[in-house]
Chain A
């Protein structure tokens, strides 16, 4: 398969570039750690909150909001760092589908790694109230995959339209709201230790949204790419 070969090649290149500079990884990791720390200090101003009934709910929602903003920041860069000459070079050697696929997979890997680290850091600062920890981790991985599929396509659109942060937020938030609602629902179920089979239908919807987004980005990116 030509597409597979090209995708793997481009993916290797992305990982190699990131491995050399470690800019995105360290930058976003520091962003997450500092956000978690700011939240930790701010919540510590209110003693007694830790024992209250609302604590697990805030714990869950806060984590996803931190992840949302971290992934917007991480993935918005994915088309920014490419200069015009290099993009032109890609166009001569690879198919557009391979470019968008490699970017999506790379972002998914990066976000997966980052979100697991973020969850570990988060649990360090905030008392862990999760019952089904393994399931929670799996949902976090699923969430980072969904974030990367959506944000990669949107960042490709935003990069063509002047590349400002406002546009990225405006374009991506309506698309990401249903995803994040489903994720919060799923992770709350994992937190309460409900039976896993109860949330399979929600996982199915999430997977369907991902399939729609990936399919439409594969169809649409070839048009976006030409200038």
Chain B
């Protein structure tokens, strides 16, 4: 766990995200019908989901570790990762809705991708409700760890598998090409990959900060 106290990756994260502000907003993008300049949303929408996925994976990792060892810190790490992930989830939904307004015409048009994202959001809200419903710490930690591991594959199926099978308007779904096809002949890669990496690190950073606050609170309450 030494990693979370080191500085270098936080500096890299900030630099990467700052660089995408310049490259993402100023560099040339392909002119595509309907999409036009909104293609720049790719640099800000997709990285939110990447950040969410990163912290959710870390959270599942710590849930598994909790079940193996029973250490309370692992449970705290798992829950703070989910909390951070939900913030990025909301941001991902909002940036997606904003983009949908300009390309599909509605903030919420009931697209399969949007609907299953909303369902998966409920799935993780249920995790937080489940935690609140149990008073005993160890029991709460164990049961929520189990539910967290159970929820993760369901979330992946909901967001990343099911919409691809149906008629979704979302790029990369239902036979629509993903934006990856256009990246190659442009400078878009230069803005996109740093954004993905940078926002993942930022999500991790927020999660570690929250985790450290929780640890201090825990120590205070223990006395």
Question: Would you call A216 an interface residue if the criterion is a C-beta within 8 Å of the partner chain's C-beta atoms?
Answer: yes
Bin chain A's interface residue count. Answer: 20 to 34
Which A residues lie within 8 Å of B149 (CB)? 216, 219-220
Query: Measured between alpha carbons, how far is A227 from B134 in the docked complex, in Å?
Result: 14
Given known contacts A216-B153, A223-B142, A174 and B133 CB-to-CB distance under 8 angstroms: no
Closest CB in chain B relative to A124 CB, distance in Å: 34
Question: Would you call B101 an interface residue if the criterion is a C-beta within 8 Å of the partner chain's C-beta atoms?
Answer: no
> What is the predominant secondary structure among interface residues of chain A facing chain B?
helix
Please state if B123 and A161 are interface contacts (CB–CB under 8 Å). no
Question: Would you call A109 an interface residue if the criterion is a C-beta within 8 Å of the partner chain's C-beta atoms?
Answer: no
Option from A153, A164, A170, A205 in Cβ contact (under 8 Å) with B126: A170
Query: Measured between alpha carbons, how far is A63 from B93 in the docked complex, in Å?
Result: 32
Question: Would you call A24 an interface residue if the criterion is a C-beta within 8 Å of the partner chain's C-beta atoms?
Answer: no
Give the number of residues in B that approach A within 8 Å (Cβ atoms). Answer: 27
Q: Which of B162-184 contact A (CB under 8 A)?
A: 162, 165
Please state if B143 and A157 are interface contacts (CB–CB under 8 Å). yes
Please state if A209 and B157 are interface contacts (CB–CB under 8 Å). yes
Q: Taking each of B120, B126, B165, which has the highest tally of chain A beta carbons within 10 Å of its own beta carbon?
A: B126
Which A residues lie within 8 Å of B146 (CB)? 157, 220, 223-224
Produce 1/0 per residue, B114-132, CB < 8 A to A. 0010011011001001100
Which A residues lie within 8 Å of B162 (CB)? 178, 205
Query: Measured between alpha carbons, how far is A160 from B142 in the docked complex, in Å?
Result: 10
Please state if B143 and A224 are interface contacts (CB–CB under 8 Å). yes
Question: Would you call B79 an interface residue if the criterion is a C-beta within 8 Å of the partner chain's C-beta atoms?
Answer: no
Q: A170-B129, A178-B158 are in contact. List 15 more A-B contacts (CB 8 A).
A: A157-B143, A157-B147, A157-B150, A160-B139, A161-B133, A161-B143, A174-B119, A175-B151, A175-B154, A178-B157, A178-B162, A220-B146, A223-B67, A223-B146, A224-B146
Q: Can you show 23 pairs from A to B with CB atoms below 8 A apart? A: A157-B147, A157-B150, A161-B139, A161-B143, A170-B126, A171-B126, A171-B147, A174-B122, A174-B123, A175-B123, A175-B151, A177-B119, A178-B116, A178-B119, A178-B162, A205-B161, A205-B162, A212-B153, A212-B154, A216-B153, A223-B142, A223-B146, A224-B143
